[in-house]
Structure 1
Amino acid sequence: MPLYVKDPQVDALATQLMALLGTSKTDAVRRALQNEIARQTNRPDLVARTADFVRALHERAGPDRKPADAAFIDGLYERT
């Protein structure tokens, strides 16, 4: 089944990748698509990434962490 690329920028990118890889344009497009699918498939979902981020913040704050009250937050915006 043919794939027609009507966007000149996409064609230029495919040509550039073809030259870098030393392959045909079809193979360059195939590899680019395979790499992007693998990248999207292997990335953790947003909930897992957010949970990891919050966990890291808690670890960094340590056991003696204090709540971020209004005075603390206001202090972040004071000019020095």
Structure 2
Amino acid sequence: MASLYIKDPETAALADRLARRLGTTKTQIVRQALTALERSIPERPSKMALLAALDDWRKHHPLPPQSGQAADKAFFDAMWDDAD
């Protein structure tokens, strides 16, 4: 049988108070709290799901066509009107 030992006295006392107030066990209180926390945190998507979402996004947001210009220092200097 697995066990869970709560080392923090305040946390153990809180679990005990809630268990008594609700007429249940500390185990049930911890189970309910962990279940609620698990539900509140979304599952991490798989790598395949992320890649599929990225592929879908790329289909709906394609890159513009290439300009054919070289993206070198002269290109950026001309774009920013910054000649050395």
- For normalisation by structure 1, the TM-score amounts to 0.45
Q: TM-score, normalised by structure 2?
A: 0.43
Higher helix fraction (1 or 2) = 1
